[in-house]
Amino acid sequence: MSNTTKFYINGEWVDPVAPKLFDVINPATEEPAGQISMGGAEDVDRAVKAARAAFTTFSKTTKEERLALLHRIIAVFESRMDDLARAITAEMGSPLWFAMQVQTNTTLEHFKEAAKVLKDYDFGHMLGGTTRIVREPIGVCGFITPWNWPINQVASKFAPSLAAGCTCVVKPSEMAPLSTIILTEILHEAGVPKGVFNLVNGDGPTVGEAISRHPDIDMVSFTGSTRAGILVAKAAADTVKRVHQELGGKSANIILPGADLEAAVSAGTLRAFTNTGQSCQAPTRMLIHQDQLAEATAIARRTAEAVVVGDPLAEGTRLGPLVSEAQFDRVQHLIRIGIEEGATLAAGGLGRPAGLNRGYYVKPTVFSDVTPAMTIAQQEIFGPVLSMLPYKDKDDAVAIANGTIYGLAGYVWAGSLEEAREVGMELRAGRIYLNGAPHGKLQDVEAPFGGYKQSGNGREAGIYGLEDFLEIKAILGYEMA
């Protein structure tokens, strides 16, 4: 890539106003994987002006024109999937197979889903005899995206915003910006009009805050920690822009006595470790009936100890490193707290796995006998750490599951689908997975994604994702009475 130290503004790769270089570290080697420039408020202002100018014309494009553009993006994207996957592996440590089969493929599905929804979407209808309701693009959008699913989160915002007719300014995480730079090259090659997509690299306190505060940005969509999401909302408040947030999670996985315990516990353990545990909807709290806790703990221990951790480029690796030294230190700190607070360490623990002396690798860790008040049962760890909590009965399980500040996802395993549905309806979370659903896929891109409580607001994906980028206008007297 030749554009890493430039920003993409108004359809061109441009130099920052005040260049400041930043090394992107490969977490597997602890060596630089690339270098970017860190932007500032002046760079954001240039990008917003370009997006604002472009909105004047792009908002008036036809549905057919935007559909054609999405299909061109899909075609170019498919030709660069290997480049994207390798960039994701280098910048955030995802095993190459996972970067290709899941990270990159899911990103592609967001563009395909946006095209599918746009094709059949009705942007206007009559209400009663004389009033017409129309849905219009909200305007210029600011996207602040995380490092754990780097291009997936850009696409989950940009694809529906483009379908709606919006323009945008994007700030990917400075920890994992390389794949977004390639995505930007894809969009340029596909012929995205000047100013519709603008990229400014930088950190949250500088570029992220400038985006959130900018008076000419109509909506800011943020994915990241709840702590950072609160700061984004506060910065955006003075300009009364729409704030869309997908924040933290501490998702519960309730395994009921009638479920196949071996299948449910082993699948739930692996799912908690997906993406090295760096997934906001990971089922990191496994709730087990107290009579089955010992057996379930043994299954989770066997599952964790069989997980292959290592070089993300090596065949057979299931878990790569955490994204950074800071994240490694945070996870180690929380594992230590779990031990100090009296949870039973069933697998893993402190330090790197055997034979891995370099890279931000963590042992797949399982705690049992965890109580709801413990730190590891309440705080999002964002690493391969599973907490197993016993419950007395179904009502107790639901109370424990709902007993956090989060509400992003919930999981239920039961002997019958009817029982799983019953418990799933009691969970206060935005997305519920029953008996291992969705089968064979990490996520169903048609289903809305978003949270209750401090896991955020708004929804991504499908028709709900598109409508979050639209304003509603009522035109009274549109037809004669």
Give the SS3 label for residue 222: strand
Q: Which of 434, 172, 114, 112 is nearest to 283 (CA)?
A: 434
Residue 462: in which H helix or E strand, if any?
A: helix 462-467
Can you give the pLDDT at residue 204? 95
List the alpha helices (DSSP H) in 284-388.
Answer: 293-306, 325-340, 375-378
Distance CA 279, CA 293 (A): 25
CA dihedral defined by 293, 296, 302, 308, rounded to 10 degrees? Answer: -110
222 and 262 in a single domain? The answer is no
Has residue 1 been placed in a domain? no
Structural domain contains residue 132? yes
The answer to whether residue 430 sits within a structural domain is yes
Average pLDDT, the chain: 96
Which SS3 state, helix, strand or coil, does residue 408 take? coil
- Domain annotation covers residue 395: yes
Q: Which residues pair with 136 in a beta bridge?
A: 471
Residue 451 lies in a domain: no
The tally of domains found in the chain comes to 2
Instruction: Check: CB of residue 51 under 8 Å from CB of residue 187.
Output: no
User: Which candidate in 280, 380, 419, 460 is catalytic?
Assistant: 280
Span 142-193, pLDDT tens digits: 999 999 999 999 999 999 999 999 999 999 999 999 999 999 999 999 999 9
Are residues 296 and 337 both part of a single domain? yes
Residue where the block lists tokens 């009638």: 258
Shared-domain flag, residues 119 and 257: no
Domain shared by 237 and 259, yes or no: no
Tens of pLDDT, residues 284-333: 999 999 999 999 999 999 999 999 999 999 999 999 999 999 999 999 99
Q: Residue 370 sits in which domain range?
A: 252-444
Which one from 246, 380, 419, 460 is the annotated catalytic residue? 246
Does 280 qualify as catalytic in the annotation? yes
Q: Per the domain annotation, does 13 fall within a domain?
A: yes
CATH of residue 375's domain is 3.40.309.10
**Cα first-last separation, the chain:** 61
Residues 169 and 211 in one domain: yes
What is the arithmetic mean of pLDDT over 345-360?
A: 96
CA distance 418 to 476: 47
